[in-house]
Structure formats: C-alpha cells, structure tokens
Amino acid sequence: MKAIAKAPGKAILTGEHFVVYDQPALVMAIDRFISVTVAKRPDTSIRISSTLGYTGTFEGEKFHSEQGGGAAQRILTPVHISASAVLDAVNHRCGLNINVDSEIPVEVGLGSSGALAVATVSAVGRLFDIAFSEPEVVNLSLEAERYVHNNPSGVDQTVSTYGGVIQYRKNQSAIRLEVESPLSLVIGNTGVRRETGRLVDSVRARRTRIPDVMDRVIRSAGVLTTKAVDALKSGNVSLLGELMDVNHGLLVAAGVSSIELDRLVHAARSGGALGAKLTGAGGGGCVLALVPDERQDTVSRAIQDADGVPIKVNKVEGGVHSWINE
C-alpha cells in the first residue's frame, strides 16, 4: 500500500520582502506540482529518493548517501524532518520508503521546499489514514522550514496547502480570496540561484540607513497589495498587471533586482504581458508576467530570446491532495 500526495508550487503576485514589515502580500498556487509517494518498511529506516538525483537512507541520526554524493544529506533532510514530524504526531515508529517527484524548479522562489514539506506531511498522514486539517498540515510542514530557512513566514506552506490565491500578512490568518478570473502567467527563470537571507538582510540594512524613505516605499507596497486584491475581486486583470509593474519598481528601490531579472521583465512587457515583476527574494530566481491567455506563447518566446527559461503556469484552485494507491 502506498500513499501519494501532490502539492502545488506558488508564485508571489505582489508584496514579497515588504511582508517582513507587516505589509500584506498576494500569493498564488501554480499548476506545477511536487508528488510524494510513501510506503511502510519493515525496519525503522527512512529511505528517500528524489527525481532530482538524490537518494539516501536515514537510520536514526546516521545518513547513508546512495546517489548525489555529499549534497544528498542537505537536500533530503527536510523530507526526513517532515516525515518524522508526522510519525511523532501520530506516535508511530516505523520505517518509510519515500519517493519525491518534482516539476517545480528549486531555489528560484517558486515554493518548491514549501510544497515538498506539505506533500510529505500529507502523504505520510494519509499512509496512517489520518486526514490532517489544513492548519495542521501547515503547522507540521513548518518543522522542515526551520532547517531550510527559506521562507520563515510560512506563506509557501499555506498556499501549497490551500491552493488558489492567498492574501497573507505576518502573524495573521491567511485569507483565501475567491478569484473567478483565470490567471495566465509566464514565469521566466533567470537560472541564477538567489540567496534569500542575504537579500532580506540587505533590504533591512537599507531601511536602517534611510528609514524615512524606505518606510514610505514599504507602505506604498502595502497599499499596492490592497489595490491588487480589489483588482482581483473585480476581475480587473489589466489593473493587476499595472500594479505588478509598479511593484517591480518598488523592489528595484529596495535593491533586490538584477540585470537578468530586469531584462526578463522588459522582454515580457515587450512580448505583450499585462505586467511583469521579479517574484520571490530577487537577486536571481524568476520573474512573473501576467499575460492575456492568447499571449502565453508570445511572452514565452520573448523570455526565451532574453536568455530566460519560460514556464507557462496558471492559477490552480486546489491545494494539496492525497490518496491511497493499493
């Protein structure tokens, strides 16, 4: 008997970075998924294999790498933490075989680690016939976050769990928005890995040096997200696009863009996007372009011509789901 869970990645529509300063952010689940399959083992080992090319076994504190060399332990530890968190929660001590299959690029701000934790928690829960509530999934998924340390806000885990579009604010309950319009996007991956922690620190340092200016920029971003929520609710997709353009400028002001990101933003706009911005921590990672349905191909080509890797994505309403495969 196997349990399988599938969780979506995410893209930040508006508000990244400024969310640290108590401003709201808008985050959307995208139709790119991580699937986690788990089965019980007769021993107490946890063997994890990822299609990214890493395999290894955890036996208590010990780790044996089978594929992917020294990096395997770092890559697979979050999965081990998530699985162990569930085993602890359900008070079981058994071994597991875990297979991870991901279509979300890693370390570019598309929420792959959050989705991985959410899918692992849901799959292991399902294996023991436990249907965790959504808040429980988010909570258990946050255990791995303490190791990965990519997104301490928990927004990635929240959106992977609930799906759809989430209005998020630090230390407040996430609000799931009812958004009727389909949202077509093209993500453009620069291929440059970003260093979230360093970028968050650099924004903080800039704010410390020029608080009068940066507090106003931060507040502009908060108001911008509120307007983006209104635009989504009223189906005004082109206004959402313009707000994304403005949001990109505020992120440039915060100092987190790069020539690779700016190049893809301009390419997407020239290709007919309604708006484009960097998404996530910046420095590297991805841009996000909001596009009319019929222009997903044109914008994808424009991003490719500007040395980016385009990924066509759409809003997905469902969050993580899990099932048993006998």
- Catalytic residue IDs: 156
Of 85-93, 126-134, 211-219, 294-302: span binding its own copies (CB under 8 A): 211-219
Is residue 272 a contact point for its own copies (CB under 8 A)? no
- CA-nearest of 261, 317, 265 to 289 is 265
110 versus 214: smaller Cβ distance to its own copies: 214
Is the Cβ of residue 153 or residue 225 nearer to its own copies in the bound state?
225
> Cβ closer to its own copies: 178 or 212?
212
CB of 221 to its own copies, least distance (A): 9
194 counts as binding its own copies under rule CB under 8 A: no
Are 187 and 111 in contact by the 8 Å Cβ rule? The answer is no
Binding mask 220-249 for its own copies (x = CB under 8 A): x--xx--x-----------x--xx-xxxxx
In the complex, the smallest distance separating the C-beta of residue 270 from its own copies, rounded to whole angstroms, is 8
C-alpha closest to that of 62 among 49, 52, 47: 47
State the Cα–Cα distance between residues 67 and 70, nearest whole angstrom.
9
Stretch that binds its own copies, among 29-37, 143-151, 168-176, 261-269 (CB under 8 A): 261-269
**Separation CA 154–CA 162 (nearest Å):** 12
- Rule CB under 8 A: is residue 204 a binding residue for its own copies? no
| Residue 284, CA atoms < 13 Å, CB-side half-sphere | 13
The C-alpha atoms of residue 186 and residue 300 are separated, in whole angstroms, by 6
Residues 165, 13 contacting (CB under 8 angstroms)? yes
208 is a site residue for its own copies (CB under 8 A): no
Listed residue (113, 130, 109, 121) closest to 192, CA to CA: 109
The rounded distance, in Å, linking the Cα atoms of 3 and 141 is 17
Name the site residues for its own copies (rule: CB under 8 A). 206, 209-210, 212-214, 216-217, 219-220, 223-224, 227, 239, 242-243, 245-255, 257-259, 262-263, 266-267
